[in-house]
A and B are shown apart, each in its own frame.
Chain A
Amino acid sequence: DTGVSQNPRHKITKRGQNVTFRCDPISEHNRLYWYRQTLGQGPEFLTYFQNEAQLEKSRLLSDRFSAERPKGSFSTLEIQRTEQGDSAMYLCASSHGHPETQYFGPGTRLLVL
């Protein structure tokens, strides 16, 4: 296990299309977080899971965004009806418990045309 992985690394889509990203956390990490990062900004919290339970979703997050972690291992983040403003780097992180170090994945860069 070499760390948190994310797929795809890059995604280009047209406005109005749906996209889905996957995150595979470090084995045995029970916490998994999703962030969004735009150029020149810090990672912005989107949502997080403890095992398979989604514990919090950002109030700023549109209903077009949904995330799952069905078996408490990998997670998916889906964006429906993408908009140009959704263009960003989507980062996943995992940790073994809380509060503990979060290890980030390489991110999925989304470009909505």
Chain B
Amino acid sequence: GENVEQHPSTLSVQEGDSAVIKCTYSDSASNYFPWYKQELGKRPQLIIDIRSNVGEKKDQRIAVTLNKTAKHFSLHITETQPEDSAVYFCAADYDKVIFGPGTSLSVIP
């Protein structure tokens, strides 16, 4: 069945450092992989997504890489800022979206 795993579950970095979150998915049928950020008490919001026809996508300090052969994708945040602190969810779209369990990122000023 469709399953998405995500690591690490918690991540703490110093302000200005980079953060990397890794995800794997079980079913190769997915061609769309969004990443969502959820701040405490708020709704999930899309921060970046990638489709299977590209291996990497970048948007300012955020980048996502995709390896379809290995069925894994990663989120990279550079020059982290305190406002990046939140829970990040990777997801795989199988007509319905299956979310990973989340990574709680803390950026220490």
A complexed with B: yes
B-binding residues in A (CB < 8 A): 33, 35, 40-45, 48, 55-56, 91, 98-99, 101-107
In the assembled complex, the Cα of A56 lies from the Cα of B97 at a distance in Å of: 12
Question: Among B32, B98, B100, B101, which residue has its beta carbon within 8 angstroms of that of A45?
Answer: B98
Complex: chain B residue closest to A56, CB-CB: B96
Nearest CB of chain B from residue A75's CB, rounded to whole Å: 15
Partner of A43, one of B6, B51, B99: B99
The docked-state distance in angstroms from the alpha carbon of A42 to that of B42 is: 13
Give how many A-B residue pairs fall within 8 Å (CB-CB): 50
B residues contacting A by CB (< 8 A) are 6, 31-32, 34, 42-46, 49, 51, 89, 91, 93, 95-102
Query: What is the CA–CA distance of A21 and B32 in the complex, to the nearest angstrom?
Result: 29
Kindly list chain B residues whose C-beta atoms are within 8 Å of the C-beta of A45: 96-99
Nearest A-chain residue to B100, judged by Cβ: A42
Q: Are B46 and A102 in contact (CB under 8 A)?
A: yes
Contact of A42 among B43, B45, B96, B99 (CB under 8 A): B99
The residue on A at minimum CB distance from B33 is: A99
Contact between B32 and A41 (Cβ–Cβ < 8 Å)? no
